[in-house]
Amino acid sequence: MTREMLRVALEAVGQGRVVPYLGPGVAALGGALAAPAALSARIEAEVRVPRRAQGNLWAAAQFVETRRFRATLEAMVVKAFAAPTGPNPIHDWLAAVRPPMVVDAWYDAGLVRRFRQGAPDWGLVQGVSRNGEWAEIWHRAYDAADALCSAADPGWRSLLYKPHGMAVPGHSFLVSDSDYVEVLTEIDIQSPIPEEVQNRRTGRGFLFLGCRFDDQLLRTYARQIAKRSARGHVAVIEGPLTRMERLFLEELAIERIDLPLEAVVEELKASGAHAA
């Protein structure tokens, strides 16, 4: 029954009825950093942070930003994602089926690079840090050629939404506590959520892959991105859940599939849907 649920959820993504929501675990399939704690460890290997900030990415990043300046923090995060990554079967599948929207809630650019190998009928909208910005800006949009656009185009076949931004030169990302202060103040009224993201989530559920919800900030983002969408959410999460994760899944009526992410890869291979 569990495998059947997974198969149905993946088919719904391919049919455009469900939005895939990718966490760090998906990026890890290609060799990228696998979790906020892993990125925090990279930062802590270069800068000694207070004990209270250790293991907490947002707090560790804030310490570096305050003590070593923003440019230092950004260079460290970009460096952490600069190493080449290998093939990623979930990215390959999404580039093949090209759903109306993919939420990619991590900093790596693997999915963007994979989409660039195909037709230029898609675009990107990403969250941006307001550090150093004078205008009230929450996000920026780019076409398939990485050219800045005024807004996400409703005519794009696929929209890649990276709410935390992207850690590559020339792009922006949110990572420190101060980055998130204004966003979290406004996110309940949806100001930081791009209009086209709001349009494309309407009438669709979400399939959460490679996500954990043991962090309040990550729960807040997932809750607000999925706001006013359709019912029928599914999350592939293996093993024991924290108390807050259980409550979060209940709150959003997310049906959990207790399988490893590798089971998703196996199902894609079995269906022949793992490559473009």
Q: Could you read off the pLDDT of 71-99 as tens digits, one per residue?
A: 999 999 999 999 889 999 999 999 999 99
Q: Taking every pair of C-alpha atoms in the chain, what is the biggest distance, in angstroms?
A: 53
Provide the 10 A C-beta neighbour count for residue 212.
19
State the average pLDDT over residues 180-203: 94
Q: How far is CA 233 from the centre of its chain?
A: 16
pLDDT at 133 over 70: no
What SS3 class is residue 179? Answer: helix
Is residue 107 a contact partner of residue 39, using CB atoms and an 8 Å limit?
yes
pLDDT confidence of residue 274: 53
Given the candidates 2.60.40.10, 3.40.50.1220, 3.40.50.150, 3.30.1490.100, the CATH classification of the domain at 2-33+88-271 is: 3.40.50.1220
Is residue 96 a contact partner of residue 276, using CB atoms and an 8 Å limit?
yes
Q: What is the pTM of this model?
A: 0.96
Q: Where are the domains of the chain?
A: 2-33+88-271, 41-80
Q: Could you read off the pLDDT of 16-62 as tens digits, one per residue?
A: 999 999 999 999 999 999 899 999 999 999 999 999 999 999 999 99
CB neighbour burial string for 50-79, b if at least 16 within 10 angstroms, e if fewer: eeebeebbbbbbbbbbeeeebeebbebbbe
pLDDT band at 276, cuts 50/70/90? Answer: very low
Q: Could you read off the pLDDT of 244-257 as tens digits, one per residue?
A: 999 999 999 999 99
